[in-house]
Structure 1
């Protein structure tokens, strides 16, 4: 009997590729190494990876060549806005929480453009013409959209455009070019996509559940500490996102208990300082490698 294998389209190189391979590794997918630069097979699951350009991933999934794809929301929504057609048959199966960035409008710091309304009859340079036009049109703003393949941030300085719409991670590139962001068009992250009418498959469901476990464990920490019994309520109130900590007796101490908790929110140094202020001692914060609800 021939084994049915699913195909996942993944960016072949770059930040999105690195995050995708790291996620697959943490989800327990063991990939075989081979000479093929387009295909990577999993050794322990019935799935194959297709390594392609990021802006080709939605088309591979929409056409049925791949069952799933891992792509940035910015790429997916730009292609849907610009080309539409069968790409609108795609949906987000899971938000993956990495490769985060934002598509922002920006203009010279010393200029007169401070909001989207100021772009009326102005020229806006961008590599995302579909999203930019849709955003401005929805607000009744008519602007001249100038499509550029790269180096968008230099457009105002070269007098090509009055403003830009570009991806921003840290904002350092904008600052280096004398620009300031003033409005967010899209918050973006890596997502797993599939066709809306795709039949359910066991391997895909297993992989999505594993991905959810990896995502849940990223900020989740396991905290162990000893606390005075009469300050237990204070400790519970401080622990971030801990719904039901385990409380156990400490050998030889009637006034102290051991507290074990899974914290689903970020644990900062200030959290430990607050715990210590209410009498907690021997505080340990441990990472969680795997997690399944």
Structure 2
């Protein structure tokens, strides 16, 4: 029996990203080795007590609630639909940075009833919807749909949840509109559907979710979760971050610092770090130049900072991508401990 079992969705773009090393995998130095593309289980060598199973999204949430697994990576949409009101389900990390999509209301492009409808408000004000003839919504997310429609003031609504694709339902006449996940929008366009203003019910991406009971009572589960969170945060904080290093001559820290702070545009960037560069000359260690490190998003570092460093007399400028950022305090770990309750953790010696 594994001390901790992590399961992720299968046969989806999110699973492809995970297996290929994007998102949770190689970027966090936790590769999920798969010898065969049809293989649905694996182990992560860096964490010996961790087993990975690729499962269906809906099943992941159900298995978490039944206690048959400890953690899972799914979309926020799935957690929100199948885990609504379930206290044992706990979101460990709410933004893994991949699997982005959103749940959106879509209406037929070529239908006389909807020709002049451009917003959810206009849809809700259509007089034809009543108790006998409600608006029929095709969706795989009836719970989220019901909540969204109520918030938008649509009272007479019925949900239709086919097992297959929902986008074709208006064409078949089994539904008036569709509430479905949108990624690129290609599917809805291919099926003559269009989005309307105010129609986004939920923004979603991959999240790490866990069983509260497993984290508190399964031996080793919380420690493994801590290790996963540490690696995730180190990677996610570094996404899109770069470092520019310029080498300059100068007689002192103060002289170089004054030049850097007076001439560099540092808006949106971290304060630069200035280091002495040592050289051996005639058998002695001497300092005759300084290295200036500036970190920040690539778009802010690309041209302006590099050009300014050269204009200040930098003899060499290097640009490198940051792959990890270590922080003494892991905010996600602190949030998780707070959700679990420090008092509960203390009683259990965790």
TM-score normalised to structure 2 length = 0.69
Counterpart of 2:264 in structure 1 is 235
Give CA-to-partner distance per residue, 1:102-138, whole Å, 9 cap, x none.
1111223462322223344222222222211111123
Aligned to 2:26: 25
Q: Distance in 2 between matches of 1:103 and 1:8?
A: 26
Q: How do residues 62-141 of structure 1 correspond to structure 2 at under 5 angstroms?
A: 62-81=65-84, 87-95=86-94, 96-109=96-109, 111-120=115-124, 121=129, 122-141=135-154
Structure 1 outlier segments of 4+, above 6 Å:
none
Say whether residues 1:39 and 2:41 are aligned partners.
Answer: yes
* Residues 276 and 211 of structure 1, relative CA distance in 2, 3 Å threshold: closer
Task: Choose 194-203 or 72-81, whichever is displaced more.
Answer: 194-203
Choose the corresponding residue for 2:12, options 11, 14, 18.
14
TM alignment of 1:126-275, pairs within 5 A: 126-142=139-155, 143-182=157-196, 183-197=199-213, 198-199=215-216, 201-225=222-246, 230=259, 232-238=261-267, 240-242=268-270, 244-248=271-275, 258-263=291-296, 266-268=297-299, 271-275=301-305
Deviation, 1:209, is 0.9
Q: Distance in 2 between matches of 1:231 and 1:287?
A: 22
Spell out, residue by residue over 1:9-31, the C-alpha distance to the aligned partner (whole angstroms, 9 max, x if none). Answer: 11233212123332233333355
How many matched pairs?
281
* Mapped contact 2:166–2:178 kept (Cα < 8 A): yes
> Does the residue aligned with 2:243 lie in a helix, a strand or coil?
strand
Check whether the contact 1:272–1:283 (CA below 8 A) recurs between aligned residues: no
Q: Closer, same or farther in 2 for the Cα pair 1:124/1:33, shift >3 Å? A: closer
Are the structure 2 counterparts of residues 151 and 12 from structure 1 closer, same or farther at C-alpha, using a change threshold of 3 Å? closer
- The answer on whether the counterparts of 1:30 and 1:42 sit within 8 Å (CA) in structure 2 is yes
Deviation at 1:190, TM superposition (A): 0.4
Q: Distance in 1 between matches of 2:139 and 2:34?
A: 38
Please list the CA deviations of residues 59-93 of structure 1 after superposition, one character each: whole Å capped at 9, or x if unmatched.
22222221111111111111134xx6xx4420210
The verdict on how the C-alpha distance between 1:4 and 1:56 changes in structure 2, with shifts beyond 3 A counting, is: closer
Q: 1: CA distance between counterparts of 2:145 and 2:72?
A: 24
Note the aligned Cα RMSD (angstroms): 3.2
Distance 1:69 1:31 in 2: 14
Greater shift in the superposed pair: 216-225 or 112-121: 112-121
Q: Structure 1 residues 276, 223: CA separation in 2 closer, same or farther (over 3 Å shift)?
A: closer
Structure 2, unaligned stretches of length 5 or more?
Answer: 130-134, 249-255, 279-288, 328-350
Unaligned 5+ residue runs, structure 1?
Answer: none
| Cα pair 1:102 1:168 within 8 Å, conserved | yes
1:192-214 CA distance string (max 9 Å, x none): 00123431621221111111112
Please give the alpha-carbon distance, in whole angstroms, between the structure 1 residues aligned to 2:159 and 2:262.
58
Indicate if the aligned counterparts of 1:224 and 1:285 stay in contact, CA closer than 8 A.
yes
